[in-house]
Amino acid sequence: MRVSSVPETGQTISNPVIPGFHPDPSICRAGDDYYLACSSFEYFPGVPLFHSRDLVHWTQIGNALDRPSQLRLPPDAPSSGGLYAPTLRHHDGRFWLIVTNVSSGGNLLFTATDPAGPWSDPVRLPGVHGIDPDLAWDDDGNCWCTVAGVSQFRIDPHTGETLGEPRRLWSGTPGAKAPEAPHLYRIGDYWYLLIAEGGTERCHGVSIARGRTPHGPFEPCPANPILTHRGTDHPIQNTGHADLVQAPDGSWWMVLLGVRPGGGTPGWHVLGRETFLVPVDWVDGWPVVGELSLVMPAPAWPLQPGAAAPGRDDFDLSELAPYWISLRHRPEEDCTTKERPGWLTLHARGGSLDDTDVTFVGRRQQHHACRVRSLIDPAHGRGGLAVRLDEQHHYDIEAAPGEVRVRARIGPLDSVVASRPTPAGPVVLRIETAPVPTLNDARTGPDTVSVGIEEPDGAYVELASLDGRYLSTEVAGGFTGRVIGMFASAGSVHFDWYDYQPLQR
């Protein structure tokens, strides 16, 4: 029997539904409201949380781990370390979030009555070993935690105690590497175990199995993988790490991560792994995933646009908006809007973006073509704007009294590629990204990064145009995407405003 959830409204939506570096999505529904959490890796605050009423338009409502008592990353925690793969669930009137801190603390569980926060301090699970933890409850009240591998623990979610011995479960297609991202669901007469496999690169995929109990034995779906774009030239690649949700009208949907590579061979993705949406049908007791595309049919219900993050921040509030992220921690004494009202003040810790403890505040790049501008006063220090992937891959424009300079760090190579005298006083710094048109040359990079300043009359002076492929995961490795932000490398610097605008190219 086929139960269809594919809408036929004539309307379309754009994928990804949450663009930019928002990987490993986990979703739950409470009434008519949907909530979604993503990985945040080495950034603080941790685990961004989103709300939607239509599965299409998402508004960030906070970060689950926004206090030092919840998240402490060592100063030397590596990039692409930190927080991996949360699972977000609504059970027994509460919201539950479980996540792995691979740099310090292992598996941690948090609860809240309101997903916008505050969230509790962590319950530690020292007996649960493995990443990508999942939570599910059976009818007897047992709480099952399933982790990558795939193995399963019965736990007391209130104390973190492990109850009994772990069980090995179905681990995906024989020969497929990296069975991970498990999610366990009770749907009808079966328990379904959804996993990712094949690694989080081009061979990524989603597979599923079912059994009569939460610990199996599990029968694999004969159509596995139920979603993958491996071996295709589809514009969305690396598809996997999925989660399922049922809408109030009975339809089923899947959120998952994917990337949008650009340029020639092998293709480079620069925004990180993004969150996509796709409908799911049920055929003979198995989920059948609809066509995943950049433009797809809209859900059957009225769409309710959310509140997008504003393009400009004038730093007039006492606290930073939830979309601002920093590296590993954010001491208030080093980052504040209270010292100079209407300005963001950054006090330098590390000497440059090469250092793990540099003072940095940024936003995820969410569009392939965008323009970022900021007015900086470097009278008592040195700092600027940077496009960051990690400590060894970033482009910076740095202002000091009377001078700006552009620096490129690409692996072991470090070069000042341009400099220019500037008048005393504040200066507007500017970074633009633009996709490169598809050419016959297979070596064409994905985009260019233009770096420069604005003259007092608003004229743009480009100081350097840099190849964007070197700020991509395919070059740098790791699991994150670009973040464009402000930094201090010496003394104290003040930023009057920051403006992020998508561009039509």
The residues annotated with a catalytic role in the active site are 24, 180
CA distance 229 to 36: 24
Question: What Å distances lie between residue 181 and 24, 26, 46, 165, CA to CA?
Answer: 8, 10, 19, 21
Which one, of 372, 423, 373, lies nearest residue 400 by Cα? 423
Which one, of 195, 194, 212, 196, lies nearest residue 204 by Cα? 196
Q: Collapsing DSSP states into helix, strand and coil, what is residue 144?
A: strand
| Amino acid symbol at 370 | C
CA distance 481 to 364: 8
CA distance 76 to 83: 14
Specify the pairing of strand 2-3 against strand 274-283.
antiparallel
Query: Other C-beta atoms within 10 Å of 437: how many?
Result: 7
Residue 195's contacts (CB-CB under 8 Å, 6 or more residues apart) are 150, 170, 171, 172, 179, 180, 181, 182, 183, 206, 207, 208
Could you say which DSSP state residue 226 is in?
Answer: S
Which one, of 217, 208, 187, 92, lies nearest residue 143 by Cα? 92
